[in-house]
Amino acid sequence: MVKKHTTLGKPRIAYQGRIYTIKEFPAHLPDGRRMTFEYVFRIPTVTVLAFNNKRQIIMTREYKEYRRGFIWHLPVGKVETGHKPKAAAQKELQEEAGFKAKKLKLFHQTPKHFGWPLYAYVATGLTPYKLIGDPGEDIQPMPMSLAKAERLALTGKLEDPFLAYLVAKAAYMVRTKGWTAIL
């Protein structure tokens, strides 16, 4: 017996912002009921796990107005329309950490069916670059050991769950397979 599934109709845009879009889909359930499903979509985003020649990860301290204080972060930004994720990763590394990478290697990518495409790159061969930043940003690059960054992730001090996952994944890979696993 073939199981029936919910079918979705043509979506309606309920909200369109610079970064997020919320779409409402009319849904027809297998039992005949109708309802509306809401999905959030976000523009593609990159993050960079940059390592200097001492194998320190370049974390950042960013001032967030809504928190009225600094949070731990990694270089992160959107992929502009028409640009490639790798080029966006290089741009964010330059803007938020003040480095240019000789090598960028894709480290993690969300599955295609996610409504939020995320790309994470490992950056090596760093050379200093003028720290540009976006207007209104207060970002301070903070090199530290990967072990210290992992503690920030595991204790909740690196609050963004995706960034915490990436740091923990990198630390695990280095611990179990060595530095060549990520560099």
The CA distance from 166 to 67, in Å, is 23
Phi-psi region of 19 (alpha: psi -120 to 50; beta: other; left: phi over 0): alpha
Per residue in 36-94, pLDDT (tens digit) is: 999 999 999 999 999 999 999 999 999 988 889 999 999 999 999 899 999 999 999 99
Contact 74, 91 (CB under 8 A): no
The pTM for the full model equals: 0.89
Q: Quick one: pLDDT at residue 2?
A: 66
Averaged pLDDT, 14-41: 94
Q: Residue 115: its pLDDT value, please?
A: 83
d(CA 76, CA 158): 14
Distance, C-alpha 162 to centroid of its chain: 6
Quick: pLDDT tens for 106-148: 999 999 788 889 999 999 999 999 877 777 889 999 999 999 9
Per DSSP, 114 falls in state S
HSE of 183 in the Cβ direction (CA atoms, 13 Å)?
17
Query: What are the residues whose beta carbons fall under 8 Å from the beta carbon of 111, sequence distance 6 or more?
Result: none
The CATH classification of domain 45-181, taken from the options 3.90.79.10, 3.40.640.10, 1.25.40.10, 3.40.50.360: 3.90.79.10
Tell me the HSE value of 13 on the side-chain side, using a 13 A CA sphere.
6
The pLDDT of residue 1:
66
Count, residues in the chain: 183
Question: Within 13 A of 161's CA, how many CA atoms are on the CB side?
Answer: 0
The DSSP call for residue 4 is: P
* Sequence ranges of the domains in the chain: 7-42, 45-181
